[in-house]
């Protein structure tokens, strides 16, 4: 499987702040990029997908993609305690997903 | 998205035995996959379950240890054979191409089942 690296955690942010998550990938042929959220004891749930360079916003979440730098990021604005979870970056190549190790985010009330 | 169910949700097994995990989807999907998530780790793809043919395994995974079936477009099974404590993990199925669509875009998204938590003693 292709390599996917995420910034090491855990990441602790105060409520209302911005949480910034980073991800780099090794395969330039990758075309589709995803962020999944995984609560403890639960399976991953999709929160964002991005296919083109630039920003994509969905509510409080913004994904950024830079294919030249092989870099994907996720910003969580106005962080809430319910955002406390592990965030997994996933990169698709040839219909298969490779996952990063995940970044655990804790939002302090 | 699709509604995905897995059975059993959890099990405790003795070493040397085998367990078959079922994955059922409420609509036809193009592709089904099986992943393993070991304690404190991220997800690792075991294999792609191909309908009507042998599964495609990733490096480090073999059919004798993880036989997979996919008899139709909504159902797949993964068997963990001759288990050892190292097989203790969460096993997840995922689906892609809900409704049978396989083109690039939202239909490429993979959705995950709730997982099967396996403990081998």
Render pLDDT for B55-113 as a digit per residue (tens, 0 to 9): 999 999 999 999 999 999 999 999 999 999 999 999 999 998 776 555 455 568 899 99
Q: Does residue A92 carry a pLDDT above 70?
A: yes
Per-residue pLDDT tens over the stretch A35-62? 999 999 999 999 999 999 999 999 999 9
Chain mean pLDDT for chain B = 91
Q: Does residue B2 carry a pLDDT above 90?
A: no
In this prediction, residue B100 carries a pLDDT of: 55
Chain mean pLDDT for chain A = 93
- Taking the CA of residue B83 and the nearest CA in chain A, the distance in Å comes to 22
Q: Write the CB contacts of B120 (distance below 8 Å, at least 6 apart in sequence).
A: B12, B13, B14, B15, B83, B84, B85, B86, B87, B88
- Taking the CA of residue A13 and the nearest CA in chain B, the distance in Å comes to 21
In this prediction, residue B105 carries a pLDDT of: 57
DSSP classification of residue A98: E
Please tell me which residue, B74 or B30, carries the higher pLDDT value. Answer: B74
Q: What's the gap between Cα A5 and its chain centre?
A: 11
In this prediction, residue A1 carries a pLDDT of: 60
Nearest to A35 by CA among A25, A26, A107, A27: A25
Which A positions 63-82 lie with beta carbon below 8 A of chain B? none
Please tell me which residue of chain A has the smallest CA distance to B92.
A43
- Establish, for the pair of chains A and B, how many residue pairs have beta carbons separated by less than 8 Å: 55
Q: Looking at residues A97-109, what average pLDDT do you find? A: 94
A8-12, A47-51, A64-68: which range is least confident on average? Answer: A8-12
| Mutant choice from A43, A63, A103 vs B, greatest count of B C-beta within 10 A | A43
- Name the residue facing A97 among B45, B59, B113 (closest C-beta): B45
């Amino acid at each position: 499987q292709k390599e996917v690296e995420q910034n090491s955690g855990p990441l602790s942010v105060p409520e209302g702040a911005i949480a910034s998550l980073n991800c780099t990938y090794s395969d330039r042929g990758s075309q589709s990029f995803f962020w999944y959220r995984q609560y403890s004891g639960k399976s991953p749930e999709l929160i964002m997908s991005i296919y083109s360079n630039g920003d994509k916003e969905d509510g409080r979440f913004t994904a950024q993609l830079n294919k030249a730098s092989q870099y994907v990021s996720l910003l969580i604005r106005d962080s809430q305690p319910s955002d406390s979870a592990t965030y997994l970056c996933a990169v698709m190549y040839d219909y298969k997903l490779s996952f990063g190790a995940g970044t655990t985010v804790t939002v302090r009330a | 998205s699709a509604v995905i169910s897995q059975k059993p949700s959890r099990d405790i097994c003795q070493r040397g035995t085998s367990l078959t995990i079922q994955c059922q989807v409420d609509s036809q999907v193009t592709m089904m996959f099986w992943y393993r998530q070991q304690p404190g780790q991220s997800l690792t793809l075991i294999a792609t379950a191909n309908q009507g043919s042998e599964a495609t395994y990733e490096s480090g995974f073999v059919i004798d240890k993880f036989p997979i079936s996919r008899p139709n477009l909504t159902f797949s099974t993964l068997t963990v054979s001759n288990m050892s404590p190292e097989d203790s993990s969460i096993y997840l199925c995922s689906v892609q191409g809900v409704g049978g669509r396989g083109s690039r875009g939202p239909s490429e998204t993979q959705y995950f089942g709730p997982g099967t938590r396996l403990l081998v003693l």
